[in-house]
Structure 1
Amino acid sequence: MSVPNPLRNFAKKANTYPTWLRQRMLTWMFRYKVKLTGTVSIDILETDLKSVTFRQKNYKKAQNHIGSVHAAAMALLAESSTGFVVGVNLPGDKLPLIKEMNFKYVKRAQGDMHAVAHLTDEQIALMQTQEKGEVTVAVKVTDAQGIEPVLCEMIWAWVPKSRK
């Protein structure tokens, strides 16, 4: 990467600490930057900077009328996890922007939700060398039973932070 990325540097440093502290540091930082994730208490469980696992506990504040995680909270979970993995892999002078989100709710969710998002080596190389571009980020959202109640497609773009 040509320009240092503060988010990547923070995540790399956090990954040197024990799991309990790493999770708290990453979660605190992300909730501080993305306020809505703090409102519904989304957690970052782990990252190797190519992939990330987020969790949405089935808290009352994130529930729908039938007591499961709300569809909008599932969308936030998928968007946040993909945004994080894109954000840590862009050079510091690039701005990530969500371009497209497609959701197909196929089953009823039960319990806590997890989202695992990841990028390929080719996608990361593209993000680090292209001035502008877009990638489709793979994300899998599962419930407490391991069922995938929502099928997601997330397309992220990036542009220079400052206009020329």
Structure 2
Amino acid sequence: MSDNYLLKLYHQCLKYPFGRTIFSRMFARKAPYFATIKPTITELKPNYCELRFKKRKAVQNHIGTVHAIALCNGLEMAMGALAEASIPKHLRWIPKGMTVQYTAKADSDIRIIAECSAASWQAGDSAICVRGLRADGQVVIEGTITIYISEKPSQKSS
């Protein structure tokens, strides 16, 4: 198993009943707006994250579909989990931009996927591919989240 702290925590949580829910709630606390969609991370491995959330009144817009910001929250959470589970220990990341296209009505529960290649983890800008699908497999949102990757500052000993 990986020595990555987030992957270790994920696999530890999977040993318990409702482990994915427990892990997802803990991770959602990193950015409290993630919790607004009540997501569950269903798969997490280096360079890949998948999460799901239910279509419910709190994430619907005036026409009864999942609203754009709920979809974007899902994309950003999946990308963040992917980044934390994948980035080498000597690097750090910060989001720099997000470009999305809404491609169909989000009229069901949503599955979000974030993925990238192993070669993405080097200093500079890196594009993480993100997409959201409704229950029938139709893509409802797709895009790219650009993150800036840099070396961690060296630790000075005192």
Q: What TM-score comes out, normalization by structure 1 length? A: 0.80
Aligned residues between the structures: 153
Which residue identity does 1:141 align to in structure 2? G
Whole-angstrom CA distance in 2 between matches of 1:77 and 1:59: 14
Q: Deviation digits for residues 11-57 of structure 1, max 9, x if unmatched?
A: 34335x26x53312321221222211112212211223331111121
**How far apart are residue 69 of structure 1 and its match?**
0.7
CA distance in 2, matches of 1:161, 1:13: 27
- 2:139 equivalent in structure 1: 148
**1:139 equivalent in structure 2:** 130
Q: How far apart, in 2, do the equivalents of 1:50 and 1:26 lie?
A: 18
Give the conservation status (yes or no) of the 8 Å contact 1:95–1:158: yes
Question: CA contact under 8 A between 1:136 and 1:153: conserved in structure 2?
Answer: yes
Q: Secondary structure at the match of 1:75?
A: helix
Residue 57 of structure 1 is matched in structure 2 by 54
Match of 2:78 among 78, 81, 84: 81
Sequence identity of aligned pairs in percent? 23
User: Is 1:50–1:85's contact at 8 Å kept on the other side of the alignment?
Assistant: yes
The question of whether the paired residues in 2 share the 8 Å contact of 1:11 and 1:49 is answered with: no
Structure 1: any 5+ residue segments left out of the alignment? none
Aligned structure 1 segments of 4 or more residues deviating by more than 6 angstroms: none
**3-state SS, counterpart of residue 147 of structure 2:** strand
Question: Which amino acid counterpart does residue 50 of structure 1 have in structure 2?
Answer: N
CA distance in 2, matches of 1:22, 1:64: 31
* C-alpha distance in structure 1 between counterparts of 2:154 and 2:57, whole Å: 42
Q: Taking structure 2 as the reference length, what is the TM-score of the superposition?
A: 0.83
Rounded Cα–Cα distance in structure 2 between residues aligned with 1:133 and 1:163: 18
- Cα distance change, pair 122–80 in 1 and its aligned pair in 2 (3 A): same
Structure 2 unaligned residues grouped into runs of 5+: none
2:21 and 2:142 map into 1 onto residues whose CA distance is: 28
